[in-house]
Chain A
Amino acid sequence: MDRKTLMELTTIANTICEKCPGSVLKETDHKDIHEITVAAQSFYEVMKTLHGDEEFGFDMLTDVVGIDRTPRTPRFDLLYLLLSSKNFTRLVVRVETDEGQDVPSVSNIWHSANWAEREVFDLLGISFSNHPNLRRILTWENFEGHPLRKDFPLEGKDFDKPFDPKTVEDYC
C-alpha cells in the first residue's frame, strides 16, 4: 500500500475545522492511531461531513465503543471507529456525553451503527436520539440496569436465588 495515500491527522482536523468551525476539541496521534475529540453539539454535523465529503470518504463504521469513566463528568466516552476505503485511513472520533444526555444517532449515515448503538444503549444506558429501533440487543427486554456501568454489581439482581427461566421466557 502506498503510504502517500494515507491522510495525515492534521489534514483531517484542519479540513473538519474549515467545514464545521470549533468542532474539533483535541487531536491525538498515538502510534499511528488518529483520533479526534469533537464537541457534542457539532458531533452529528462532523460525522456527516466525514462520511459525505469527497475528500474524506469514511464509508465504513467498524464499531461504536462506550466507556464509563466514573467519577469523571461528563461520565461517558463514545468512540466511533471509522475506515475510509478511498484513502485507506482509519479515524477514531471521540465524543463525551453524560447520563441522561442524548447523542444523535448516526444510523442513517452508516447502517452498521444501528446494532452497534443498540449494544452501547443496552450495556451502558446511553440513549441515542433519532434511532430507528432503540431496544436492548444482548440482554433480555425486562433486564434491569446496564451491565457495563461501573456501579453495576457483577452478579446482577437475585444472584443468591435459584434462577427460573420463566422470568426471561417472554422476553427472549
Chain B
Amino acid sequence: MGLENQLVGDNVLVTSLTKLVNWSRSNSVWPCTFGLACCALEMIASTLADFDISRFGSEVFRPSPRQSDLIIIAGTLTKKMSVMVKRIYDQMADPKWVIAMGACSSCGGIFKSYSVVQGVDQIIPVDVYIPGCPPRPEAVLAGLMKVQEKIRTEKLDQRPDFKRGLLR
C-alpha cells in the first residue's frame, strides 16, 4: 500500500526535501546591494530592462546584508576596504553565496600593488569567478546561472552552514 494510492486527484506532487529546498533557493537568490568599482556599473546594467536579471529571480537587491543570499564583489578590493567586505559577508545570514566579478576581485587584475588585495578568496570563500575587465552583463547572468546550478546540485548536508551545525 503506497502513499500515492491513498492520495486522491492530481493535486499532489511528491519530491525530496533537498530538491524542493534547492529549487526554491536557486530561484530566489537575492543579491546584496554592494559595488566597489567600475564592475558595479555592469552589475547595475544587468538589473535593467535590457538584460533583466529578474528573469532569474535575482532582481531584489537587498539594502541589508541580513536579507541577502548572494554578494557580488564587483570591483577592485583595496586592503583598507577588505575589513568592511569581511564584515558585510559575516553579517549575511546562511545560506550565502559569493561571486567574484571581474579580474580585480578574482586575482587583483591590473593592480599588482601594495594597496590591493590579490583576489577576494583570500578573505571570503568564493563560489563563482566571472572573468572580464569589466565583464559584460551577459557574463554576470552566466555567473548567476552557475550559482543557481551549484545550488540545485548540492546536497543539504554538504553546505558549510550544515557542517557548522546551524541546520541540525
Asked if A and B bind, the verdict is yes
Enumerate chain A interface residues (CB-CB to B < 8 A). 139-140, 147, 152-157, 159, 162-165, 168-169, 172
Known: A162-B122, A163-B123, A165-B123. Is A147-B82 also a contact (CB below 8 A)?
no
Q: Is the CB of A163 within 8 A of B79?
A: yes
Q: Is the CB of B79 within 8 A of A140?
A: yes
Q: Is the CB of B86 within 8 A of A165?
A: yes
Cβ distance A107 to chain B, nearest Cβ, rounded Å: 24
Number of interface residues of B (CB under 8 A): 13
14 new A-B contacts, CB < 8 A, other than A163-B122, A165-B83, are A152-B114, A154-B113, A155-B112, A155-B113, A156-B113, A156-B115, A157-B114, A162-B122, A163-B117, A165-B82, A165-B123, A168-B82, A172-B80, A172-B83
Q: Is the CB of B118 within 8 A of A163?
A: yes
Residues of A near B117 (CB, < 8 A) are: 163
Enumerate chain B interface residues (CB-CB to A < 8 A). 79-80, 82-83, 86, 112-115, 117-118, 122-123
- Residue of chain B at shortest CB distance from A158: B114
Name the contact of B114 in the complex, choosing from A154, A169, A172 (C-beta under 8 A).
A154
A35 to B122, CA, bound (A): 48
A156 to B82, CA, bound (A): 17
A159 to B83, CA, bound (A): 18
Q: Is the CB of A168 within 8 A of B83?
A: yes
A157 to B86, CA, bound (A): 22
A-B contact pairs, 12 of them (CB 8 A): A147-B115, A153-B114, A155-B112, A155-B114, A162-B122, A163-B122, A165-B82, A165-B86, A165-B123, A168-B80, A168-B82, A169-B83
